[in-house]
Structure 1
Amino acid sequence: MLTDTGEARMTPALPPLTPGPHRARLGLISIVACFGGLLFGYDTGVINGALRPLSAELGLEAFTEGIVTSSLVFAAAIGALFGGRLSDALGRRTMLVALAVLFFLGTLVLVLAPGFAVLVAGRVLLGLAVGGASTVVPVYLAELAPHEIRGSISGRNEVAIVSGQLAAFVVNAVLGITLGHLDGVWRIMFAVCALPAIALFIGMLRMPESPRWLARRGRREEALAVLRSVRSAERASAELAQIEAIAERRTRSSLAEVLQSRPLRRILLIGMGVGIAQQLTGINSIMYYGQSVLVESGFDEQAALIANVAPGVIAVLGGIIALWMMDRVDRRTTFLLGFGLTTLCHVLIGVASVALEPGHPIRPFVILALVVAFVGAMQTFLNVATWVYLSEIFPLRMRGLGIGIAAFANWVTNGTLALWFPSLVAAAGITGTFFLFAAVGALAVVFVATQLPESRGRTLEGLESRLELGR
């Protein structure tokens, strides 16, 4: 609800949402766009089970394993940085079609890779696509969704991501058990990614462009037509008027202009902080190296491959709960609960690894249970909330730039951990690694409590008005 007089004047109340075919149309659009999230998840998760057979066949060591894993992640940082800006210039839908092609090409290079160098090249191509999808899909969904249900619509992308990761874990387990004795089984694991890439390409050819992007380009009739396909006629007209009122007052902002404006600079730093804090929980270290962590805790390799499915299952369940929460619980509250619970899990994992020495029969099961609890807390309270928040806090004139820079910071942090996590565990063990994550988590709680503005229940234009007022 709008509580400030100035904000209410700049963003007048909209007609309420109504049922009808337009709601089903919005649901279909979100499903198709979320194939980008599914690809994001599968391509980041598949390395978890593919890495050990791949390393055995190609003779990789700890550091080159880190390069293979992190090359996708560092490339994703570049893809995120430029993906947002390109989507501002070319359109959200056009970018998603192009990303589908890039996902397919990267998969083809990986499957046919004769050695380490080409393998890394394929991972880089996939990384560029993953990074682009991480910025474009959330913005596309946020710009199409009505503000009352924006959190649950935008959050579907994160559920698609963890569903893709779970699919990768299940495919890895099935192929590892049935075909693990064959050379090149990891190529089959990677090849599965081609299927959702084809689905994204075909599906997005039939989906509409973002109405806010169209309005920004002065294509009023097209924007209105899109809004009428996903809203009632009365709501569509009122919402377009609101979008145009903001768009007419603002030109596209460059990075230099953002840095010169105190409100824009502050919101950019907050977005970067949220992206970095989410990665410093160490969540993707579990998603990339979960099998290795479980082997370190005491499971044998095949048991670890099967047990590794459990975090993937809880991630999907947590994501479903998070979707229900997004339109009911404030973002700040969600973040505080998330960082508090994940920090507690880190402490307990560290304590368990000290109290239960290697070889203790229950050690691997206790650590597995705590890892599952950590992933559940992460997915329920942080992962969905992070990408929803980043898709909504930036003003339209800097949305692509803002989410691109925030996602770039997120991916660089992700890549740094992916590169050095095997060496960190080798040097400090599970105990030191998770106590370090706990210390960083405590700092994240302070950051959220003191810096984050609330965004739930407000229109994107209303948030922009509040930013101008310094709130």
Structure 2
Amino acid sequence: MGFLSLVEDRPTPRAVYNARVVSCAVIASFASCMIGYDSAFIGTTIALDSFVTEFHLDALSSARRAVISANIVSIYQAGAFFGALAAFLAAHFAGRRAALQLFVTIFILGAGLSLGASGARGLGILYASRALTGLGVGGASNVTPIYIAELAPPAARGRLVGLYELGWQVGGLVGFWINYGLALHVAPSHKQWLIPFAVQLIPAGLLALGTLWIRESPRWLFQRGRRAAAVANLCWVRRLPPNDPYVVEEITQIDAAVADAGTSFLQPFRDVAQSRSIQWRLFLGGALFFWQNGSGINAINYYSPAIFRSLGLSSQTATFFTTGLFGVVKTTLTLLWLALVVDTAGRRPVLIVGALGGSAAMWAIGAYVKIVGVNTSGSGGGLSGGGVVAIFFFYLWTAFYVPSWNGTPWVLNAELFPARVRALGQASAAANNWLWNFLVSRFTPQLFLALHAHGVYFLFAALMLCSAPFVWLLVPETKGVPLEAVGRLFEVRPVRRAHAVVMTGLRAEAVGETHMVREVREVREEGSEAGTGDEEKDESVVT
């Protein structure tokens, strides 16, 4: 199957694949640009000499400086955790579009507040701004994938939702490179470290303006009983009239889904309380984000200068350049993941191979730092031969991690849950992501002090190694399984055979349905030849 081919659930007019639905997905994905940028720029910004000097961090002990750096970074994740939970309420009662508008407004307030920070005022304003921007991105991380999925035609849903992950990486790419450019071209000053905080307003402003144009999700409008507005928005995004057979059929499907899911806010919680299978799926979804963060990715995102210094890079420009190159590699591999991996290789093999390969690379990095130690050759921050090998293994680790654990946990969480609890499942996934994200960002500096650099790499290597048997024993393969049949995967033991068993059953059912349709068609043809006397017989067979 080619990257641009469409596997349709039913004959679909070409008008459905139009610029409006793509534009809505792109605009909503500016939310992930905000998230990616914020996750990437902060580590290099607080490492700028101008920032360190203005806030007198150079006069502090290593332990005290590590605590302050961790607080600046992690208060953002703490806000994002609560934002992800709050978004479930906002998206349910106010709507997807209104929720996006609310959380981007909160983000803009936080980003604007950061522009008032200075050494004279202390770090309090910066802490408050980070909490608000975190609250905003946490809410956006919950709402955006749901909004895109509800607007997208089924055959293009995976790729349109994939724009969310791509936006995250593009934002991160800018965040990784911005301080390298500032270190080269802007003299150390208050302005030098303030510019990266100001750049946060660009993707946020684009999202805020875009939400004035995009339409509310038709599915949410149907759930709230606003049928006329729902039909109008559905016809707008599909570019079809309301009496078109495709639109009529889609409305019928939405009505059936709404009738099954109900409109009560508490209904998903009742479903979770009554179903051990759904409880188990919530556990698996949250655990996937534990293992994702246990790989060390967010320690690298937030503290990349310290990471590269531990491998032997001493100059600030060298560490910033290597950090920017890391962003390029991540973005490139994400594009390859979207094009070649996500819908072809399967979920389980990708996660297991990524865990084993990434663990091996991380063991090699830790061994180098343990045996050789951290040193550079020359005042310019050049690496020794062994340091070059360590950097190679670091990028090898990136090559294993990005096409596996970077985006696949989000894909699995989108597939694990039935429609009636899918929004709650997404809220749980987003909250778990930010919870583990917070713990890693808060304690990474202390880990470097307590375990030393090699100990931190060994810890991440061990966690990646442990994630492989977790996936092998507990996580079923979901590739190609219709969402309505995913529940069957959790009824088969051992888990590694679940996909084959379920797909075999689905194929048998499809063959049976084909035979039944053929038999009905033959009976109808016989009835038409025999005349009206056989019509009652034909009707009974059909029934």
TM-score between the two structures when normalised by the length of structure 2: 0.79
- Which amino acid letter does the alignment assign opposite residue 175 of structure 1? L
Q: What is the match of residue 342 of structure 1?
A: 358
List runs of 5+ in structure 1 lacking aligned partners: 1-12
Matched, 1:313 2:361: no
Q: What is the match of residue 107 of structure 1?
A: 111
Q: What is the match of residue 9 of structure 1?
A: none
Q: Output the CA distance in 2 between the equivalents of 1:246 and 1:467.
A: 21
- Contact 1:272 / 1:409 at 8 angstroms: preserved in 2? yes
Which of 155, 179, 191 is residue 162 of structure 2 equivalent to? 155
Q: What is the match of residue 326 of structure 1?
A: 342
Matches within 5 A, 1:20-419: 20=15, 22-53=17-48, 54-60=51-57, 61-113=65-117, 114-231=121-238, 233-251=244-262, 252=264, 253-255=267-269, 257-300=271-314, 301-324=316-339, 325-359=341-375, 361-419=384-442
Q: What is the deviation of 1:256? A: 5.4
Q: What is the deviation of 1:192? A: 0.7
Q: Output the CA distance in 2 between the equivalents of 1:216 and 1:445.
A: 40
C-alpha change, 1:255 and 1:362, in structure 2 (3 Å) is farther
- Which amino acid letter does the alignment assign opposite residue 314 of structure 1? V
C-alpha change, 1:257 and 1:49, in structure 2 (3 Å) is same
Q: For each residue in 1:239-298, what CA deviation from the matched residue of structure 2 results, as whole angstroms up to 9, or x when unmatched?
A: 332232232023342535413321221221121112222111110110110111111221
Q: Output the CA distance in 1 between the equivalents of 2:188 and 2:261.
A: 61
- Which amino acid letter does the alignment assign opposite residue 20 of structure 1? A
**Stretch moving more, 253-262 or 90-99:** 253-262
Aligned residue pair count: 458
Q: Output the CA distance in 2 between the equivalents of 1:326 and 1:236.
A: 29
- Which amino acid letter does the alignment assign opposite residue 353 of structure 1? V
Q: What is the deviation of 1:466? A: 5.0
Q: Output the CA distance in 1 between the equivalents of 2:144 and 2:364.
A: 35
Q: What is the deviation of 1:76? A: 0.9
- Secondary structure at the residue paired with 2:14? coil
Q: Output the CA distance in 2 between the equivalents of 1:201 and 1:213.
A: 20
Q: Output the CA distance in 1 between the equivalents of 2:409 and 2:251.
A: 27
Q: Output the CA distance in 1 between the equivalents of 2:485 and 2:148.
A: 17
- Contact 2:478 / 2:486 at 8 angstroms: preserved in 1? no
Q: Output the CA distance in 1 between the equivalents of 2:42 and 2:153.
A: 36
C-alpha change, 1:209 and 1:464, in structure 2 (3 Å) is farther
Q: What is the deviation of 1:374? A: 2.3
- Secondary structure at the residue paired with 2:115? helix
Q: What is the deviation of 1:17? A: 4.0
- Which amino acid letter does the alignment assign opposite residue 318 of structure 2? A
Q: Output the CA distance in 2 between the equivalents of 1:261 and 1:143.
A: 25
Q: Output the CA distance in 1 between the equivalents of 2:251 and 2:482.
A: 12
- Contact 2:366 / 2:453 at 8 angstroms: preserved in 1? yes
Percent identical: 31
List runs of 5+ in structure 2 lacking aligned partners: 1-7, 58-64, 377-383, 493-501, 503-543
Q: What is the match of residue 458 of structure 2?
A: 435
Q: For each residue in 1:11-44, what CA deviation from the matched residue of structure 2 results, as whole angstroms up to 9, or x when unmatched?
A: xx94134433633222211111110000001111
- Secondary structure at the residue paired with 1:298? coil
Q: Output the CA distance in 2 between the equivalents of 1:334 and 1:238.
A: 36
Q: What is the deviation of 1:51? A: 0.8
Q: Output the CA distance in 2 between the equivalents of 1:67 and 1:266.
A: 33
C-alpha change, 1:88 and 1:389, in structure 2 (3 Å) is farther
Q: Output the CA distance in 1 between the equivalents of 2:216 and 2:488.
A: 27
C-alpha change, 1:468 and 1:23, in structure 2 (3 Å) is farther
- Contact 1:267 / 1:393 at 8 angstroms: preserved in 2? yes
- Contact 1:347 / 1:438 at 8 angstroms: preserved in 2? yes
Q: What is the deviation of 1:467? A: 8.0
Q: What is the deviation of 1:206? A: 1.1
C-alpha change, 1:236 and 1:455, in structure 2 (3 Å) is farther
Q: What is the match of residue 514 of structure 2?
A: none
Q: What is the deviation of 1:412? A: 1.3
Q: Output the CA distance in 1 between the equivalents of 2:195 and 2:27.
A: 25
C-alpha change, 1:238 and 1:333, in structure 2 (3 Å) is farther
**Stretch moving more, 227-236 or 365-374:** 227-236
**Stretch moving more, 327-336 or 291-300:** 327-336
Q: Output the CA distance in 1 between the equivalents of 2:489 and 2:224.
A: 23
- Secondary structure at the residue paired with 1:52? coil
TM-score between the two structures when normalised by the length of structure 1: 0.90
Q: Output the CA distance in 1 between the equivalents of 2:317 and 2:136.
A: 31
Indicate the structure (1 or 2) with the bigger Cα radius of gyration: 2
Q: What is the match of residue 522 of structure 2?
A: none
Q: What is the deviation of 1:459? A: 5.3
